[in-house]
């Protein structure tokens, strides 16, 4: 699910996230109250309830939306929680998600005038140590959606669509990493269940399976 940047229409993210939906992932771009991601970071819970068949979620966020996504990852990951991934677009969250039980990726533009390289570097302490940091050359803050120029941003490059393709490619690579990890976890759980079923104690010629 995706937290938009503050005051950015959710429809501006269609080009960036539609390819993920076309790849088979459930994509939910949230409509934030008052247009502010910080107004209700737990808006994600409504998406969880709306799609009960989805048992593993990646929370994503652009700009300020990344801070809300990091908060959700920090509080709704780990055993008995659905969040397994955190995907940041041009975002340097101040929320501490360093101990979140998630895979994480931070995709950023080196010409971003809103969240610059120094901000990205500073955000490392708030993210898991194995977070992937993916630099998109020549990308600015508004390269991550379709909403025109962003105040304080670098000059919008002419190759906007090409930059978005690079952002999409990085996002899909991360989603594939999360999916592969989930498959390995599922296989490990299945093996564990088989081992547990085979390790029952014998009583009067019968096998008692635990759990």
- Rounded to an integer, what distance in angstroms lies between the CA atom of residue 90 and that of residue 19? 19
CATH of the domain at 35: 3.40.50.1820
Mean pLDDT confidence for 191-202: 49
Closest Cα to residue 97, out of 139, 66, 118, 55?
A: 66
Structural contact between residues 91 and 115, judged by C-beta atoms closer than 8 angstroms: yes
- Rounded to an integer, what distance in angstroms lies between the CA atom of residue 103 and that of residue 87? 9
Residue 78 domain-assigned (yes or no): yes
Is pLDDT above 50 for 200?
no
Residue 129 domain-assigned (yes or no): yes
Task: Output the pLDDT for position 185.
Answer: 73
Task: Output the pLDDT for position 35.
Answer: 58
Residue 211 domain-assigned (yes or no): no
**210 vs 127: which has the higher pLDDT:** 127
Q: Which residue bears the tokens 């930059």?
A: 163
Rounded to 5°, the CA angle 95-101-102 comes to 80
Contacts 24+ apart (CB under 8 A), 40-48: 41/3, 41/67, 41/68, 41/71, 41/72, 42/72, 43/3, 43/68, 44/1, 44/3, 44/72, 44/76, 44/83, 45/76, 47/1, 48/82
Is pLDDT above 50 for 159?
yes
Q: What is the pLDDT of residues 42-94, one digit of tens each?
A: 788 888 999 999 999 999 999 999 999 999 999 999 999 999 999 999 999 99
pLDDT band at 202 (very low <50, low <70, confident <90, very high): very low
| Residue 46, domain extent | 2-199
The distance in angstroms from the start CA to the end CA of the chain is 34
Residue 30 domain-assigned (yes or no): yes
Residue 210 domain-assigned (yes or no): no
Residue 206 domain-assigned (yes or no): no
pLDDT band at 199 (very low <50, low <70, confident <90, very high): very low
Q: Which residue bears the tokens 């299945």?
A: 190
- Rounded to an integer, what distance in angstroms lies between the CA atom of residue 3 and that of residue 64? 8
**136 vs 42: which has the higher pLDDT:** 136
Mean pLDDT is lowest, of 95-109, 132-146, 171-185, for: 171-185
Single pTM value for the model:
0.86
Residue 113 domain-assigned (yes or no): yes
Is pLDDT above 50 for 33?
yes
pLDDT band at 182 (very low <50, low <70, confident <90, very high): confident
Mean pLDDT confidence for 185-196: 55
Q: How many domains does the chain have?
A: 1
Mean pLDDT confidence for 21-45: 79
Residue 209 domain-assigned (yes or no): no
Is pLDDT above 80 for 201?
no
- Determine what percent of the chain is predicted with pLDDT higher than 70: 83
- Rounded to an integer, what distance in angstroms lies between the CA atom of residue 57 and that of residue 169? 19
What does DSSP assign to residue 145?
S
Closest Cα to residue 85, out of 14, 163, 19, 173?
A: 173
Is pLDDT above 70 for 104?
yes
* Cβ neighbours of 7 (radius 10 Å): 13
């Amino acid at each position: 699910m995706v937290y938009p940047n503050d005051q950015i229409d959710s429809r501006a993210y269609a080009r960036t996230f539609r390819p993920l939906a076309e790849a088979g992932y459930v994509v939910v771009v949230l409509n934030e109250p008052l247009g502010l991601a910080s107004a209700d970071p737990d808006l994600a819970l409504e998406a969880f309830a709306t799609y009960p068949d989805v048992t593993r979620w990646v929370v994503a966020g652009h700009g300020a939306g990344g801070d809300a996504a990091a908060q959700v990852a920090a509080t709704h990951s780990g055993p008995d929680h659905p969040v397994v991934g955190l995907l940041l677009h041009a975002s340097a969250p101040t929320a501490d998600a360093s101990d979140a039980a998630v895979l994480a990726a931070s995709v950023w533009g080196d010409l971003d005038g809103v969240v610059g390289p120094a901000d990205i570097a500073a955000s490392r302490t708030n993210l898991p140590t194995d977070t992937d940091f993916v630099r998109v050359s020549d990308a600015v803050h508004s390269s991550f959606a379709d909403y025109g120029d962003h105040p304080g941003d670098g000059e919008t490059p002419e190759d906007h669509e090409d930059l978005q393709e690079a952002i999409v490619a990085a996002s899909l690579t991360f989603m594939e990493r999360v999916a592969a990890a989930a498959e390995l976890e599922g296989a490990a759980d299945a093996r564990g269940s088989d081992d547990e079923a085979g390790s029952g104690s014998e009583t009067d010629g019968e096998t008692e399976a635990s759990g």
